[in-house]
Amino acid sequence: MNSDALLSLEGVSRHFRSGMDTVKVLDGVDLDLAAGQRLAIMGASGSGKSTLLHLAAGMDRPDAGTITLDGQALDGLREPALTRFRARRVGLVFQDFNLVESLTVYDNIALVPWLTALQTDREAIEALCDSLGIARLMNRFPAQLSGGEKQRAAIARALIHQPALILADEPTGSLDPDSADIVLDLFDQSVRALDCAVLMVTHNQDAAARMDDTLYLTHGQLATAR
């Protein structure tokens, strides 16, 4: 493990059962991500990109290997301490948005500060929504939004508590090119202002090109080229 790494995966493997077979999704993955670094991971559908993100967030456990985030070994935490740690240190952008349907856009964004006993800063939420072009939507519910609007609300929720690590699963997948550029600009601004790190999985070559580096996940392992 690199002692300067914000996120470190060492020998991480994850297997799943499929009928009588065992599918090896990740096979001894090593990865170090430093504060201030932006990394894209690309790969075919089903290659394990989302699994890797879930493991990095502590939302899943590896079958082998260790994961350390911000100096904390994730296997050393049990619920609810793991949930609190993740909520404070990680900003999550899910491919399927994961917005709470019964809450407005504003309340969805304010949910993470509320869950972690942080002060909810209405001005900060309004400013972030304005930068994402969804200020007029703050009092609407997810069912009243388009896919792109939901994604921008989910990204605002991921950034509002100023996380150390942003984990993004296809964050521009539902966005038009202009909106995608706005989101990637916000990631850049967060890295500069907070010295946080971004780990993004994507199929979008243009989005990947905006990161500092790109790795490819194939046959359960990461490589610098396909």
Return the CATH number at 178.
3.40.50.300
Within-domain flag for 166: yes
Within-domain flag for 134: no
Within-domain flag for 50: yes
> What pLDDT score was predicted for residue 1?
55
Q: In total, how many domains does the chain have?
A: 1
Dist CA 186 CA 12 (whole Å): 30
> What pLDDT score was predicted for residue 25?
94
The residue range of the domain holding 169 is 5-100+162-223
Structure-token match 């470190």, residue found:
8
Within-domain flag for 64: yes
Dist CA 51 CA 75 (whole Å): 16
Dist CA 48 CA 14 (whole Å): 9
> What pLDDT score was predicted for residue 226?
62
Stretches where the chain sits below pLDDT 70 are: 1-3, 116-118, 225-226
What residues contact residue 140 under an 8 Å CB cut-off, 6+ apart? Answer: 104, 105
Report whether 197 contacts 37 (CB < 8 A): yes
> What pLDDT score was predicted for residue 164?
93
Within-domain flag for 148: no
Residue % of the chain over a pLDDT of 70: 96
Within-domain flag for 175: yes
Within-domain flag for 202: yes
What is this structure's pTM?
0.90
Within-domain flag for 193: yes
